[in-house]
Amino acid sequence: MLVDSTMAKRELLEDGRARLPPGQFLTKRFPVLTYGSTPKVELGGWTFNVSGHGLKEPMEWSMDEFLALGEHETTRDFHCVTTWSRYDNTWAGVPIGSIWSLIEPHLTDEVGAVMLHCTCGYTTNLLIEDFLKEDNLFATHHDGKPLTPDHGGPLRFVCHHLYAWKSPKWVNGIELLSNDARGFWERNGYHKRGDPWAEERYAYQE
């Protein structure tokens, strides 16, 4: 179901920007877009790993341990680079602040970016300031229901202020980086950052 985008553009965010980013149309559906097939994530033996630049030693949690790190729920808009946007998505899961509070004390050097890793081999990069943005979270639920495999269950990182490819499905690890790098789609023609309001869709725009 589509929504009148003309009316939607009249809504403004607190900073004065249009709520609907340029080049986007509004929908009430939640489209499923995945490169390749949807993996079957087995929770037995599943671990979430943190490694990389400046970390004294790698860190690891089982799913139960990871979910026990904190709880957070937020309602935010979601924007896909393929031009659809969906308002008022309610996400629930583990807040980014809870994870970072455990990582930061073990750092010996400054972290400039992260690479998020997923069960299927997918990766995407985020500048550290984008990664740590308030309200970002590792989501287990969407609109009050557990995330389905097609939408990234059992665990999806959600980065609200960037295009949806920066919210990777089936996430299971963080690689800390000294400097920004390129993940899967970034190596295949997408923009390194992906700000919807600047329409940062493709690498040639950098």
H or E stretch at 137? strand 137-142
Could you read off the pLDDT of 130-156 as tens digits, one per residue? 999 999 999 999 999 999 999 999 999
- Cα–Cα distance between 39 and 198 in angstroms, integer? 32
What is the band of 6 on the pLDDT scale with cuts at 50, 70, 90?
low
Each domain of the chain, given as residue ranges in start order, spans 42-72+93-205
pLDDT of residue 13: 83
Neighbouring CB atoms inside 10 A of 175's CB total 18
Domain boundaries 42-72+93-205, CATH class: alpha beta
- Cα–Cα distance between 72 and 92 in angstroms, integer? 6
pLDDT of 2 > 80? The answer is no
H or E stretch at 126? strand 123-127
Which stretch of 12-21, 97-106, 182-191 has the lowest confidence by average pLDDT? 12-21
- Among 90, 103, 95, 93, residue whose Cα is nearest residue 59: 103
Mean residue pLDDT of the chain comes to 94
Q: Scanning the structure block, which residue is given the tokens 């985008």?
A: 5
Cβ neighbours of residue 6 closer than 8 Å, sequence gap 6 or more: none
What is the band of 166 on the pLDDT scale with cuts at 50, 70, 90?
very high
Amino acid identity, residue 77? D
pLDDT of residue 97: 97
H or E stretch at 61? strand 59-62
Instruction: Tell me if 177 sits within 8 A of 187, measured CB to CB.
Output: no
Instruction: Tell me if 5 sits within 8 A of 26, measured CB to CB.
Output: yes
- State the first-to-last Cα distance of the chain, in angstroms, to the nearest integer: 33
Cβ neighbours of residue 104 closer than 8 Å, sequence gap 6 or more: none
Share of the chain above pLDDT 90, in %: 83
pLDDT of 9 > 90? The answer is no
